[in-house]
Structure 1
Amino acid sequence: MPKRVIWKTEGIDAQVENEEILLEKRSGQITLDTGNACRLTNNGNRAGLLLDFGVELHGGIQILAWKGGNGKTRLRVRFGESAMEAMSELGENNSTNDHAIRDQEVEVSFMGMSEVGNTGFRFVRIDLLDEASFVDLKSIRAVFIYQDIEYKGSFRSNDDLLNNIWQTGAYTVHLNMQNYLWDGIKRDRLVWIGDMHPETSTIQSVFGYDDSVPRSLDLIRDETKIPGWMNGIPSYSMWWILIQKDWYMQNGNVEYLKEQKDYLLSLLSFLDSFILENGRNTTPNPFIDWPSTSNTKAVDAGVHSLLILAMEAGAMLCKELDESLLAERYLESAALLRKYVPEHGQSKQAAALMSLAGLVDKNSINEEVLSIDGAKDISTFLGYYVLKARVHAGDIIGSLETIREYWGGMLSLGATTFWEDFDVEWLQDAAKIDEVVTEDDSKVDVHGTYGDHCYIKYRHSLCHGWASGPTAWLSEFVLGIRIIEAGCKTIEIKPMLGDLDWVEGTYPTPKGNIFVRHELKVEGVVKSYIEAPKGIKVRCPQDAEVIVKNH
């Protein structure tokens, strides 16, 4: 049910009466007894109202109409991920129907139940279109389309903001786990392999396994014949290898890995052909993320780093596939690539990837680039790798502060899922996304004002899976759960609490959930309690008090 009515037309010429009944819990069945109805009446102008369902949803709405002026009536239904998007006209501030229809006219019959929409939304505006008419509504309910699956992973600490960020990242990806793994539920309902890596990392931390991942990996594999590039982007073919490696480490499915062998070996050989004798990488059409596109040095450095990581991941998979000679070959290719050290162009995204690829000193790059100005100049997609690079340099407190500032900044604007893009500078004078902003208002409509590239203003997706990185990061580095052996057969527990007093949570493995609780004691000693399922070997830090229970 809607949580509140944000706005309605006022005046005798466009009346909305009894709108509060739409907030009541009612059956989804139309009845002969008309009872207490919300009435929209047109007496010269169009009556309308704006509903807030309280949280981002994927699906549509069900409209139950008791009666009206002509046996059936026309309504205009506008969905929005922000209140202002739902209030917009098509074309206004880049408001679109791209990928999913979010602004449409529908006919509803009286004594009828009509379902409308299949998109991502939190807000819905309803307008009565017929002149000199009325409609009596019993209810307007959300039709939620999602996978009803268990959140096996969890995260709790003494910091409620971090807890909320972990949960929001998990929910963001959950909504995008449809038949395939999408990037966004409103716009970008596509399988973008590169964008998937933060999403699959989150899925591993929250759900462990889901069919949408191999289904999506195989879809793009089968649609991309070598010498083609996945999604038309060479770096995305590299990301496919990285996802395959991480997915294998999580789930340990050797049979699935064997199904990838022919394509994987062909792709590795193809990528290897773009490495020059001096270690330079010559893959065409370099791309790492949208905010970095104008920084040529950053893009080249980022792709070069990704290729190193992909060759190393490919070597590891070759070894698992009993291709030891190829494994050695691609490790040598990675070593050759490291002989050439590109410039990062002062880009945090590129610098982070260079750090993770071992091209630069992790401590120096953190001090000189990554930690400068906190959350400024990071992106929702590659911000995950900035966090990974910073924590590898031991900057756990700085990483936590960046998460609070950047992803917490979205929450402060009313977000219930994480966005395709964000900049902390947007916070200045910003209205929350559940507010209606007028021309005379001093506040800024963030959704209708900012954005860039393919996500300008209302086209901007406010539920984008690639922004979920902190969920996976908090599980890996704060809970400290890292996979050492494929299938989670061996797990290392190495918590980093930073400025937290305590943290606890679960992590899914093929054998069952691991539970950990870490408490900061005197002189910085961390006391850990660990429960691991039978068949899981746990490595623990020597300075922690540990209890391991097999169950």
Structure 2
Amino acid sequence: MRNFIKKLKVEYLLGMILLALFVVPTSLNAQDNSKNTDATWIWYPGDYEIWLSNQMQAKRTERGAFFPPLWRYYSPYSLVTFRKKLSLDQNDVVEIHTEGQAKIQLDGKMYYGDPKALEIPAGDHILTIKVYNQEATPSLFVKGNNVITDASWEVTYEDKEWIDASGRTSGESGTHWDQVGSWDFDNKEDLPSEFRLETKPKKAVKITPHKKGYLVDFGEETFGFVKLHGLEGSGDLNVYYGESEEEARSEEFCETLDRLEFDGSQASDFLIDQSRAFRYVNVQPEDGIQLDSVSMLYEYLPLEYKGAFNSSDELLNEIWDVSAYTMHLTSREFFIDGIKRDRWIWSGDAYQSYLMNYYLFNDNPSVKRTTYALRGKDPVNSHINTIMDYSFYWFMGIYDYYLFSGDEDFIKQIYPRMKSLMEFCLERRNANGMVEGLPGDWVFIDWADGLSKEGEVSFEQLLFARSLETMAICAEINGEPDAVKRYNGLAEDLKQKIQTEFWSDEQQAFIHNRVEGELTDKVTRYTNMFAIFFDYVNAEKEAQIKEHVLLNDQVQQITTPYMRFYELEALCALGEQEYVLDEIRDYWGGMLELGATSFWEKYDPTEKGVEQLAMYGRPFGKSLCHAWGASPIYLFGRYYLGVQPTAPGYASYEIRPNLGGLKWMEGKVPTPKGPISVYADRREIKINGIKGAGKLIFKSRNTPSGAAGIQSLGDDAYELAIETDREYKIKYKAL
């Protein structure tokens, strides 16, 4: 994230040139009959993601009570029209399948009845299919020898503005056409509305008799469906779930439970139909019910661990492993916050999940699904998740996606929704051109005691400025030079105000907020640490922030992994990798010492015993598996293995390995072009790069050897161009 905007502006044109060498553009209108034969289900962009997120987020319960999200629900368009311009060398017979009722037209001629197949003669044609579905997402699957549904189709919800997916006026009066949305439903039987996560059986590691039933331990935090074996009789049976043993035993205060009634006709092996998060399960049958044992079906999104990290420190290796497992548990239909609570899509949590994803799974569809689900539809009448900072994280996540993926089509597809949300944000500025919480807004920042959210909070202005810079970049991608100028101007103006109105020479730090025009004397870590890796301050101020804020125990400490992530990133950006590893050992290692098998929503080492399980005034309110707890994945990949893209899609990239006091380390970072592998000890570096404009940058006490082309940068720093995917070996002496 350091030098986020500066690097892109410098290397944007280089990135576009390099991308052109590796990416073949796809026409949105012309079918390539010779290459693509894989049909897929398609829909209006974002609609399936909205529908699926509605289904998922409605599954949260609290002690058996329905507990829906706290923000507005959106719905798919119930009637959409799909269109494809065809140029066929020979006749084609196509299958047509829809989720919903369909009206089929070829060259304007309507086909009556409900045809499941259609013969299309050779020549130029326009195939138009209108689909209606009020209960799920109107979706289409077409498959012939040459005509298939894929990303080249157009779709409209009949908004009466006829422009094509590239934004050009089509010359037809009446409708706005967009590029379709799709995922990986590549078979006519794979109906999008019937999507389910995968499952596999999992046995308990320990079953202990408890009261009339059993206390079941599955050995680690997990997620899925409890299965009862040898179930007989009629009567009631209660299941109490716990991320901790204390929670599962607490029939009065556990967060999730199931109360079941049986009449004797149930199957002997009975699967509870609602998935839950737990490690422990307390199964209590009433009189008249008996059972033999308990197992589960583990429910998961099948993602491959493409990233890896290993080192001379076994504690750090365990922290990486548990971080990866935490990330996998919270990567479901979408990137969610926690698997017990809330099971919702929060933008601040998702933003961090995206970054971890790029260094673990590199799964682009999950990022796009989550981005669409968070945004919803126009008109905009509230911030994302009702939280001001979460709207800004949404913008920042889109640029990160482009940087790591090079997926320009998605930027063009999502850009109209970016513009409308940004206009909403701009309209809510005060007379000073800054944002502050208005009625209906939640200014979150972090869970911290006594943290003021009043007035003009400098942290919010910082995120707003970065969002405006992101808008300028995306406007350039979309060919809007006037918008580029406008957004850049707004960003520069706001950045200048942050410097002049919040920086304190006396405290050598940014002040937290200004209330009714009066600057407070409160210094917090948030603005200061983000200013470091946003590259918003010069070297002198970096040093002052480091001494007077980041390494100052008198400044309020951060107790959530959410903001510890950014604090440690700022320190890594300042070259404090050794210090950061000690902090990771202490903070994440502290959770492991307490028996954590996934990382928590919050960890405060001053809390003892069951205090560690409480939050929100509830004895077991804390989530013990929270996505933002997995941040070591990103830190290890980005700041120790040292891999980062410097142009979209890794068209150019850097590798800056930093041992941080380790004897050795090794790992992989996934990219769109394959993995980058890094090994480093104190005398040797081995790199397997990818094709492109890569740079290995490292420091050495002596003149390095072993590879041709190593250049000195001065101050013990050296650089080697990495242009192919072969192995490079460098002999050096670590500082």
After the TM superposition, which residues 22-421 of structure 1 pair with which residues of structure 2 at under 5 Å, given as runs?
46-65=211-230, 71-72=233-234, 74-90=236-252, 92=253, 95-97=254-256, 102-107=257-262, 112-116=268-272, 117-130=274-287, 135-137=290-292, 139-223=293-377, 225-274=379-428, 280-282=434-436, 284=438, 285=441, 286-291=443-448, 294-296=451-453, 300-341=457-498, 342=502, 343-344=511-512, 345-358=522-535, 360=537, 361-373=541-553, 376-421=557-602
Distance change (3 Å), C-alpha of 1:198 and 1:538: same
Amino acid at match of 1:47: K
Count of aligned residue pairs for this structure pair: 476
Give yes or no for contact 1:65–1:110 (8 Å, CA) kept in 2: no
Aligned-residue Cα RMSD (Å) equals: 2.6
Residues 70-120 of structure 1, C-alpha deviation per residue, up to 9 Å, x if partnerless? x44543211111111101123x3xx334xxxx3433537686111124111
Q: Which residue of 1 aligns with 2:667?
A: 505
User: What is the CA distance between 1:183 and its match in structure 2?
Assistant: 1.0
**What is the Cα deviation at residue 269 of structure 1?**
3.8
TM-score, normalization: structure 1? 0.80
Match of 1:550 in 2: 725
Alpha-carbon separation, structure 2, partners of 1:120 and 1:54? 13
The whole-number CA distance in structure 2 between the counterparts of 1:497 and 1:331 is: 37
Q: What's the CA shift string for 1:176-200, capped at 9, x where partnerless? A: 2222221111111111112211111
Aligned-pair distance for 1:326? 2.5
Cα distance between partner residues in 2 of 1:520 and 1:152: 26
Structure 1's 543 and 398: CA in aligned 2 closer, same or farther, altered over 3 A? closer
SS in structure 2 at match of 1:425: coil
Tell me the distance in 2 between the aligned counterparts of 1:168 and 1:299.
Answer: 38
Summarize the Cα distance change of 1:225–1:171 in structure 2 as closer, same or farther, 3 Å threshold: farther
Q: How much has 1:354 moved relative to structure 2? A: 3.5
Match of 2:647 among 485, 492, 495: 485
Q: Does 1:538 align with 2:691?
A: no
Contact in 1 for aligned 2:354/2:367 (Cα 8 Å): yes
Distance 2:677 2:631 in 1: 21
Aligned-partner SS, 1:228: coil
CA deviations over 1:433-459 (Å, ceiling 9, x no partner): xxxxxxxxxxx22454x3247xx4312
Q: Is the 8 A contact 1:272 1:333 kept in 2?
A: no
Q: Which amino acid aligns with 1:231?
A: N
Partner amino acid, structure 2, of 1:494: R
1:451 is aligned to 2:606: no
For the pair 1:469 / 2:623, whether they are aligned, the reply is no
Match of 2:41 in 1: none
The amino acid across from 1:425 in the alignment is T
Separation of aligned partners in 2, 1:299 and 1:156: 44
> How big is each residue's C-alpha offset from its partner over 1:444-495, in whole Å with a ceiling of 9 and x where there is no partner?
22454x3247xx4312211111222221111100110111011122110012
Check the 8 A contact 1:64/1:111 in 2, yes or no: no
**1:508–1:292 Cα change, 3 Å:** farther
Amino acid at match of 2:590: G
Where 2:575 maps in the other structure, the secondary structure is coil
Distance 1:389 1:297 in 2: 25
The whole-number CA distance in structure 2 between the counterparts of 1:279 and 1:232 is 21
Quick check: 2:654–2:694 contact (8 Å CA) kept in 1? yes
2:251 corresponds to which letter in structure 1? E
In 2, Cα distance between equivalents of 1:49 and 1:412? 27
Query: Could you tell me how far 1:215 is from its partner in structure 2?
Result: 1.1
Kindly state the Cα deviation for residue 275 of structure 1 after the two structures are TM-superposed.
Answer: 5.2
TM-score for both structures, normalised by structure 2: 0.61
1:15 aligns with: none
Q: Distance in 2 between matches of 1:392 and 1:246?
A: 17
Over alpha carbons, which structure has the higher Rg? 2
Q: In structure 2, what is the Cα distance between the partners aligned to 1:405 and 1:543?
A: 28
1:277 shift after superposition: 7.7
User: What is the SS of the residue equivalent to 2:304?
Assistant: coil
Q: Which has the higher contact order (CA 8 A, sep 6+)?
A: 1
- Unaligned 5+ residue runs, structure 1? 10-45, 431-443, 522-526
CA shift digits 1:379-412 (9 cap, x unpaired): 2212111111111222222211111111211111
CA distance in 1: counterparts of 2:285 and 2:313, whole angstroms: 46
Q: Secondary structure at the match of 1:420?
A: coil
Matched-pair contact (CA < 8 Å) for 1:279–1:338:
no
The amino acid across from 1:550 in the alignment is: D
- 1:343-375 CA-partner distances (Å, limit 9, x unpaired): 133322343224334555222212212223499
Deviation at residue 376 of structure 1 after TM alignment: 4.3
Unaligned residue ranges in structure 2 (runs of 5+): 1-202, 503-510, 513-521, 708-721, 727-735
Question: How far off its partner does 1:536 sit?
Answer: 3.4
8 Å contact from structure 1 (residues 287, 299) kept in 2: no
Q: Deviations over 1:121-175 (max 9, x none)?
A: 1111112211xx57351x4212100012210001111111212222222221211
Distance 1:332 1:181 in 2: 33
Letter in 2 for 1:451: M
- Asked whether the equivalents of residues 85 and 447 of structure 1 are also in contact (C-alpha less than 8 Å), the reply is no
For 1:282 and 1:86, the matched residues in 2 are separated by 42
Shift of 1:528: 1.9
Partners of 1:143 and 1:293 in 2: CA distance: 43
Single out whichever of 464-473 and 260-269 deviates more from structure 2.
260-269
CA contact (8 A) 1:56 1:417 kept: yes
Find the aligned partners of 1:538 and 1:160 in 2 and give their Cα distance.
30
Equivalent-residue separation in structure 2 for 1:283 and 1:317 (angstroms): 26
Q: Cα 1:125–1:105, aligned 2, differ >3 Å: closer, same or farther?
A: same
- CA-CA distance at 1:340 after TM superposition: 2.7
